[in-house]
């Protein structure tokens, strides 16, 4: 019970910090929407309609995944602010295991990421040019999207936490995150369908964790039927295993507080 | 080592059970360097206990073990009669050497977070926060962001936060570092109040004057080992009686070499053109000093001997010599 209260306190603290950081609050929501408008409208006209007939709608699940990705990266970077301000030392001196503290940090990242992704989803759903097909029905499709975003955020926040606790400088952290996550994003099917790519890129797409998040959300929002998708059970299973694995790895070793 | 009053071999299980901290034969190494080298201490409950030594002598490493951040390579630690555990930290507080406040939180929010992290009922947290902020004169800054506080205010808030849970043991890692004199005295007033209320204070410091003034007992450390232990008076008992500071016009090292051979002279420390000499009695020393070297002297001052002199006599180096490369934090 005390552990739950401590985790809740950490989530409240991080949420408060997030809402106080106006630039992070606005940019995290406006950037994907801006990209959706510019990239969606701009590329739509140059597309071969045999490939994708409604690119803006196709792009929306990818933007939701990108929002989760950016949000997790930002949230993980707060590790450095907490370390450098010294508050992380105070949190680790509390009567809880390291795992409880890191779970609190991860969950706050998840809450922020899910909220941002849902804002993007809500705004996108209200744009007349975007036509979701809700193949599982609106409620189920939204529920699956939310579940996908939660698992994706758990995985990405866990990964961010894992890297942040082992990379001493924030600059190094951002470098590694960009190096790892941008290729993840590009070959996840977020911007273009994976089935039209060369075989080696298809393989990269299949071993890319983000592909399963994009696949799940595209199947829920964009797809008219399940043909050509990996399938919701596969997506959920892969994301769950990955989220659990990175969280375990991230919390099983003592976190360094040295700068 | 005649001033060491408690050694691991003579301590009983009853001592360990009644001690606020009982550490035996602790060893901890950073790579090849041993930060703690068979270190044993016993901190009686209700006292102010000082760990005094230069940077890198193992003080912060020991404190980090007490809050569970590091595990000893070997040895045993009991706190408040129990083996270390996360739950036991509920009865401990700590003020870190470096600032440890979240700049995105207000003063009151910092206290509330501490209360929730330590599982205090909300009403208790609110009541004690109000009382403690009043005690440390931060009531009118309760809604301020911590980033806007002065250095002294931040330290007072960190202390109030550490005292929120009414810890039985309060760990202090150089708490007055970088504070001005007024802020130091202010902080110590609050610490003494906490001690009077029953909290054991374990102070890690390299501030000799502070340790001598406030600690009931002091352990002198060097390279992770205990070199002496006792009350400040005990530690100074075997020391030469007087200390004389001599400022030379020219080379102090050559003069020091001469003075060292004089009868009644103990330790001679050199700092620039100044020598600090401990002697049996100041009068005969000064007479000879002026006879032999009067023309080469800029100034002379008679001082009381300090624990710095004790440390120098025992270890052959000063506490205030800092080595930033060796400094570690909790």
Range(s) within chain B of domains with CATH label 3.30.70.920: 240-304
B90 touches chain A (CB under 8 A): yes
Q: Using an 8 Å Cβ cutoff, are B266 and B239 in contact?
A: yes
Task: Identify the residue among B104, B105, B171, B174 best suited for mutation to test binding to A, counting A beta carbons within 10 A and taking the highest.
Answer: B104
Nearest-neighbour CA in chain B from A14: distance (Å): 9
- What is the predicted ipTM? 0.83
Closest Cα in chain B to A5: B116
Q: How far does A72 lie from chain B, in Å, by closest CA?
A: 19
Query: Which of A21, A82, A89 is facing B330, going by the closest CB pair?
Result: A89
With an 8 Å Cβ cutoff, is A13 touching chain B?
yes
A256 and chain B in contact, CB less than 8 A: no
Q: Domain segments of chain A: what residues?
A: 2-251
State how beta strands B217-222 and B265-271 pair: unpaired
Least confident of B9-18, B292-301, B303-312: B9-18
Summarised one tens digit per residue, pLDDT across range A138-178 is 999 999 999 999 999 999 888 888 888 788 888 898 888 88
Residue at token pair 């030469």: B240
CA A22 to CA A30: how far, in whole Å?
A: 12
Whether the CB of B177 is below 8 Å from some CB of chain A: the reply is no
- Give CATH 3.40.50.300 domain extents, chain B: 8-235
Residue A2, phi then psi, degrees to nearest 5: -65, -35
| Inter-chain CB proximity B89 and A94 less than 8 Å | yes
In angstroms, the CA B17 to CA B14 distance is 5
Residue B166 contacts A, CB cutoff 8 Å: no
Interhelix angle A98-126/A2-20, rounded to 10 degrees, is 50
Query: Cβ contacts (< 8 Å) between B118 and chain A: which residues?
Result: 94-95
Chain A residues touching residue B330 (CB < 8 angstroms)? 89
Q: Give the right CATH number for B240-304 from 3.30.200.20, 3.30.70.920, 3.40.50.620, 3.30.1280.10.
A: 3.30.70.920
Residue A87 has which token pair? 């508050």
Q: Is B221 helix (H, G, I), strand (E, B) or coil?
A: strand
C-alpha distances out from residue B66 to B46, B79, B220, B229, B276, Å: 17, 8, 18, 20, 37
Helices (H), B67-180: 107-117, 122-135, 151-163
In angstroms, the first-to-last Cα distance of chain B is 28
Cα–Cα distance list, B129 to B108, B112, B138, B154, B270 (Å): 7, 8, 10, 15, 49
Residue B17 has pLDDT above 80, yes or no: no
- Quick one: fold of B8-235? Rossmann fold (3.40.50)
Residues 6+ apart with CB under 8 A from A136: A144, A220
- Nearest by CB to residue B117, choosing from A6, A20, A97, is A6
Residues A79-124: tens digit of each pLDDT: 889 999 999 999 999 999 988 998 898 899 889 988 888 899 999 9
Give pLDDT, residue B217: 96
| Cα B168 off chain centre by | 18
The lowest-confidence range among A12-21, A25-34, A55-64, B95-104 is: A25-34
């Amino acid at each position: 019970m005390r552990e739950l209260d401590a985790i809740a306190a950490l989530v409240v603290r991080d949420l408060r910090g997030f809402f106080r950081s106006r630039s992070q609050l606005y940019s995290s929501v406006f950037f994907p929407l801006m990209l959706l408008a510019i990239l969606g409208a701009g590329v739509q006209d140059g597309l071969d309609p045999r490939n994708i007939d409604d690119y803006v709608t196709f792009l929306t699940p990818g933007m939701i995944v990108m929002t989760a990705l950016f949000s997790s990266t930002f949230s993980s970077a707060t590790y450095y602010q907490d370390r450098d301000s010294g508050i992380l030392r105070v949190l680790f001196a509390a009567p809880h295991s390291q795992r409880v503290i890191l779970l609190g940090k991860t969950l706050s990242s998840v809450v922020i990421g899910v909220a941002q992704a849902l804002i993007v989803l809500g705004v996108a759903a209200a744009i007349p040019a975007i036509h979701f097909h809700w193949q599982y029905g609106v409620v189920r499709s939204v529920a699956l999207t939310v579940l996908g975003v939660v698992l994706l955020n758990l995985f990405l926040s866990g990964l961010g936490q894992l890297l942040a606790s082992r990379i001493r400088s924030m600059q190094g952290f951002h470098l590694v995150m960009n190096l790892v996550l941008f290729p993840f994003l590009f070959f996840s099917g977020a911007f273009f369908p994976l089935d039209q790519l060369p075989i080696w890129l298809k393989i990269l797409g299949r071993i890319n964790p983000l592909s399963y998040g994009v696949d799940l959300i595209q199947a829920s929002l964009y797809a008219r039927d399940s043909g050509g998708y990996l399938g919701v059970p596969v997506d959920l299973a892969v994301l769950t295993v990955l989220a659990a694995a990175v969280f375990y790895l991230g919390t099983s070793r003592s976190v360094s507080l040295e700068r | 080592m005649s001033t060491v009053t408690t050694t691991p071999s003579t301590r009983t299980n009853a001592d360990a059970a009644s001690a606020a901290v009982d550490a035996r034969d602790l060893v901890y190494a950073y790579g090849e360097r041993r930060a703690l080298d068979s270190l044993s201490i016993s901190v009686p409950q209700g006292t102010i206990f000082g760990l005094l030594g230069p940077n890198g002598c193992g003080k912060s490493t020991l404190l980090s073990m007490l809050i569970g951040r590091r595990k000893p390579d070997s040895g045993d630690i009991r706190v408040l009669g129990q083996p270390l555990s996360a739950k036991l930290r509920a009865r401990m507080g700590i003020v870190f050497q470096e600032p440890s406040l979240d700049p995105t939180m207000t003063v009151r929010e910092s206290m509330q977070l501490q209360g929730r992290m330590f599982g205090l009922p909300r009403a208790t947290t609110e009541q004690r926060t109000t009382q403690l902020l009043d005690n440390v004169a931060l009531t009118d800054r309760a809604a301020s962001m911590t980033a806007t506080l002065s250095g002294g205010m931040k330290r007072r808030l960190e202390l109030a936060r550490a005292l929120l849970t009414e810890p039985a043991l309060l760990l202090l890692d150089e708490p007055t570092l970088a504070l001005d004199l007024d802020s130091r005295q202010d902080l110590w007033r609050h610490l003494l109040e906490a001690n009077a209320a029953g909290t054991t204070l374990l102070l890690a410091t390299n501030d000799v004057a502070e340790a001598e003034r406030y600690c009931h007992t002091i352990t002198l450390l060097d390279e992770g080992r205990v070199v002496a232990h006792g009350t400040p008076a005990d530690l100074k008992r075997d020391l030469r009686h007087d200390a004389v500071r001599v400022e030379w016009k020219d080379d102090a090292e050559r003069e020091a070499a001469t003075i060292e051979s004089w009868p009644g002279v103990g330790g001679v420390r050199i700092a620039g053109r100044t020598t600090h000499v401990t002697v049996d009695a100041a009068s005969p020393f000064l007479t000879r000093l002026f006879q032999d070297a009067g023309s080469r002297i800029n100034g002379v001052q008679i001082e009381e001997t300090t624990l710095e002199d004790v440390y120098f006599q025992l270890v052959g180096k000063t506490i205030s010599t800092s080595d930033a490369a060796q400094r570690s934090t909790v």
